Chains A and B, each alone.
Chain A
Amino acid sequence: MKNIIKIAIRNLFRYTRRTLLTTTLISIGVILVIVFAGLGGSFKSAMIGIITDSMLADVQVHKSGYVETIDNIPLNIFLTENEMEVLQPKLDNNAKIEAYSPRIKFGAMISDYNQTSNIRLSGVYPEKEQATCPTLTDRFSGVSDPINFVKPGEIIIPDILVKGLNVEIGNDVVIVGTNRHGSVNGLSLKIVGVSEGVMGPQGKEGFIHIEDALNLLRMDETEISEVAIRLNRGEDVKIAYTELNQALSGEKSEDGSRIYEVHPWNKLTHFGSIANIVDLLIMMVRVILISIVLISVMNIMMMSVFERTSEIGTIAAIGTSPRKILSLFLAEGFFLGFISTLAGVIIGVGLLLFMQWQPVQFTFGPMENLVLIPDIPIKEVLATSGIVVLVSLFASWQPARKASKLEPVDALGHV
């Protein structure tokens, strides 16, 4: 085997320029996959982190039919107190769940006594919300106590309204809301913080304490529009969603329809599709790499067999078995892929390390100055390396087989 490897490597570098060109081409492909996967993966992780840790959490439970009309912020599709009493033990006893936060979401008017505008609001228990969306308060400015970021009588308004209404922290505003029966009510609140807008369905909302929401909407009992759930491990979304969905599927209303609906975060935001597109693009780059490797290795090996036909005839004539001739050419293809991969991985990982040292800043939707620190995707590096080496072997198979099948007498006569 050692000798086959030695001869294969020497043969590979016999046509130095051709081998270097092919190696460079494959290496560039490997670099592209690694860098793209590193950047794309970290972009995806960063955005998912923002969305799940500061807005949606990992999974949400609503009353059936709520999500279908979520854009209208319906007031009549809430989970009742009884329904919450059924739900809460199931959440409390689920080992995969770290925290959950009941929310009342509604639309209202906001006025600083001079101007009036619209606002989307979340009524929350601040400590539960903080436990469920731990980076939510990172988006707030002016908030002194992140655990208890909004108290009754206080409001955190989105930054777009600060500019629109020309208000600032410490000002009083009036919130006017209509409940499900059409009754209008108003509440004076003090601005205690400003929330930075982020991309997503809840990225431009204001926050009030849930008690104020209950008062404003004149609710006799605590009804909830959504329960945001944080999991111990973000990767468990699919399993946790399935388990919770199954656990709640048996809860039916009198007409036999389901009471609860469960949604993982990616079904509640368009970023779920963007994440899928990022995955698809990484896959596309990988397919392009496979094509590059397949075509270039096959091409170089076919040329090699053609040019060395007489030499193949010689080694066959002196007794080299067809199997060994096959191994010689397969080894050549293997090392072509291996050397290219090694070079690509070193440069690709080097580039990612450089980008970790000098992070890339970018703007995404309303979010500015986002810092992209690429991961070193070990799985991706291993998968890419494995794919390139395997495809190289596959691409060399046909030329190697052709070489091993050559009749010595014909091969020796080849000019």
Chain B
Amino acid sequence: MSLIKMENVTKIYHTGEISVTALQNINLEIDKGSFISFIGPSGSGKTTLLNLIGCLDKPTEGDIIVNDVKINLLDRKNGAKFRGDSLGFVFQNFNLVPVLTVYENVEYPLLMVKNVPVSERRTRVLDLLEKVNMLDQKNKYPNQISGGQKQRVAVARALVTNPSVVLADEPTANLDHKTALKVIDIMRQMKKELGTTFIFSTHDPKIVGNAEIVYTLEDGKIVNNKKGGE
């Protein structure tokens, strides 16, 4: 049984009288515990695809089923609840909340989204910070740590609610190659330890090699899928 299923998904953006087809008739199934990568040139539809799977946007046509929920039918409130319960996000620009410390940033989804009791919260946050090797930086604010460290914190934040899927849009784009590999390593390790499905988009061919399945997008269509390293 697939964790994610996209059926005939099309996304068209309308700007005034101009219509741009970002995704066209996408059919896709992703199994639980996969480590998937989407590649393709700018404008190929990678971010749109991740946004649709992440319940951040709605398709113009077609259905998207994640965790047995037809997410294209969810309203704003239920969409937010679904994201909080089932999804984790890692962004290209890290997107940590600047007024919160590293610890508080990781704690945020448990506190503001899921209302987890304090003792459990503390255990889970410290455990994840240790896993991403950021425990010693827990009291620092985002402006006091490096880009690579910020992205490790972002990975910990994405995982703290035990989501089924973590979506990462170009997570290594703002990192040097060495740091980027470290972040991908951490993601792989987390996938292995927690069984979480990771889906990320990237430009970096060396990073792509780490994915189990690589989907190539061009002009809003999946033109190729192959096993990582092929």
Partners in one complex: yes
Residue pair B109, A7 in contact (C-beta under 8 Å): no
Contacts of A320 in B (CB 8 A): 80, 84, 112-113
Contacts of B85 in A (CB 8 A): 319
- For the complex, is B178 an interface residue (Cβ under 8 Å from A)? no
CA distance A11 to B98 in the complex (A): 9
Knowing A10-B100, A311-B95 touch, does A318 contact B51 (C-beta < 8 A)? no
Give the distance to chain A from B138, nearest Cβ to Cβ, in Å.
17
Knowing A408-B56, A409-B57 touch, does A321 contact B97 (C-beta < 8 A)? no
- B169 — nearest CB in chain A belongs to which residue? A412
- Central interface residue in A317, A323, A408, by most chain B CB within 10 Å: A317
- For the complex, is B81 an interface residue (Cβ under 8 Å from A)? yes
- For the complex, is A181 an interface residue (Cβ under 8 Å from B)? no
Contacts of A323 in B (CB 8 A): 77
Contacts of A14 in B (CB 8 A): 98-99
Residue pair B77, A322 in contact (C-beta under 8 Å): yes
Contacts of B59 in A (CB 8 A): none
Residue pair A319, B80 in contact (C-beta under 8 Å): yes
Knowing A3-B112, A409-B51, A412-B91 touch, does A318 contact B84 (C-beta < 8 A)? yes
Produce 1/0 per residue, B142-161, CB < 8 A to A. 00000000000000011001
- For the complex, is A315 an interface residue (Cβ under 8 Å from B)? yes
Which of chain B's residues 145-194 have a Cβ closer than 8 Å to chain A? 157-158, 161
Residue pair A11, B56 in contact (C-beta under 8 Å): no
- Central interface residue in B80, B100, B108, B109, by most chain A CB within 10 Å: B80
Residue pair B56, A412 in contact (C-beta under 8 Å): yes
Produce 1/0 per residue, B38-72, CB < 8 A to A. 00000000000001001011000000000000000
- For the complex, is A391 an interface residue (Cβ under 8 Å from B)? no
Instruction: Tell me the dominant secondary structure on chain A's binding face.
Output: helix
Knowing A315-B108, A321-B77 touch, does A409 contact B56 (C-beta < 8 A)? yes
Q: Tell which of B51, B76, B95 touches A314, judged by Cβ atoms closer than 8 Å.
A: B95
Contacts of A318 in B (CB 8 A): 83-84, 88-89, 108-109, 113, 157-158
Q: Tell which of B51, B77, B87, B99 touches A7, judged by Cβ atoms closer than 8 Å.
A: B99
Contacts of A314 in B (CB 8 A): 89, 91, 95, 97
CA distance A115 to B76 in the complex (A): 95
Which 10 pairs, one residue from A and one from B, show the smallest C-beta to C-beta distance?
A: A319-B84, A10-B99, A319-B113, A314-B95, A409-B56, A409-B57, A319-B83, A408-B56, A321-B80, A409-B51
Give the distance to chain A from B85, nearest Cβ to Cβ, in Å.
7
CA distance A149 to B31 in the complex (A): 107
CA distance A11 to B54 in the complex (A): 27
Residue pair B91, A324 in contact (C-beta under 8 Å): no
CA distance A317 to B81 in the complex (A): 10
Q: Tell which of B76, B93, B97 touches A315, judged by Cβ atoms closer than 8 Å.
A: B97
Name A's B-contacting residues (CB within 8 A).
Answer: 3-4, 7, 10-11, 14, 310-311, 313-324, 407-409, 412
CA distance A321 to B115 in the complex (A): 12
Contacts of A319 in B (CB 8 A): 80-85, 87, 109, 113-114, 161
Residue pair B95, A310 in contact (C-beta under 8 Å): yes
CA distance A14 to B100 in the complex (A): 11
- For the complex, is B111 an interface residue (Cβ under 8 Å from A)? yes
Residue pair A317, B89 in contact (C-beta under 8 Å): yes
Give the distance to chain A from B59, nearest Cβ to Cβ, in Å.
12
Contacts of B114 in A (CB 8 A): 319
Give the distance to chain A from B81, nearest Cβ to Cβ, in Å.
7
Knowing A318-B108, A319-B81, A412-B91 touch, does A311 contact B56 (C-beta < 8 A)? no
- 20 CB contacts below 8 A, A to B, read A7-B99, A10-B99, A14-B98, A310-B93, A311-B95, A313-B95, A314-B97, A315-B112, A317-B54, A317-B89, A319-B80, A319-B83, A319-B114, A320-B84, A321-B77, A321-B81, A322-B77, A322-B80, A323-B77, A412-B91
CA distance A7 to B161 in the complex (A): 20
Give the distance to chain B from A23, nearest Cβ to Cβ, in Å.
18
Give the distance to chain B from A402, nearest Cβ to Cβ, in Å.
14
Contacts A313-B95, A318-B108 known; list 20 others, CB within 8 Å.
A4-B112, A7-B97, A7-B100, A10-B99, A315-B97, A317-B89, A318-B89, A318-B109, A318-B113, A318-B157, A318-B158, A319-B114, A320-B84, A321-B77, A321-B80, A321-B81, A321-B113, A322-B80, A408-B56, A409-B57
Contacts of B84 in A (CB 8 A): 318-320
Contacts of A408 in B (CB 8 A): 56
Residue pair A317, B83 in contact (C-beta under 8 Å): yes
Contacts of A3 in B (CB 8 A): 111-112
Contacts of A322 in B (CB 8 A): 76-77, 80
CA distance A314 to B169 in the complex (A): 13
Give the distance to chain B from A80, nearest Cβ to Cβ, in Å.
82
Give the distance to chain B from A301, nearest Cβ to Cβ, in Å.
16
Give the distance to chain B from A3, nearest Cβ to Cβ, in Å.
5
Contacts of A324 in B (CB 8 A): 112
- B96 — nearest CB in chain A belongs to which residue? A314
Give the distance to chain B from A407, nearest Cβ to Cβ, in Å.
8
Contacts of A11 in B (CB 8 A): 99
CA distance A313 to B92 in the complex (A): 13
CA distance A311 to B77 in the complex (A): 18
- A12 — nearest CB in chain B belongs to which residue? B99
Knowing A3-B111, A3-B112 touch, does A317 contact B56 (C-beta < 8 A)? yes
Contacts of A7 in B (CB 8 A): 97, 99-100
CA distance A316 to B112 in the complex (A): 11
Give the distance to chain A from B176, nearest Cβ to Cβ, in Å.
23
Give the distance to chain A from B188, nearest Cβ to Cβ, in Å.
22
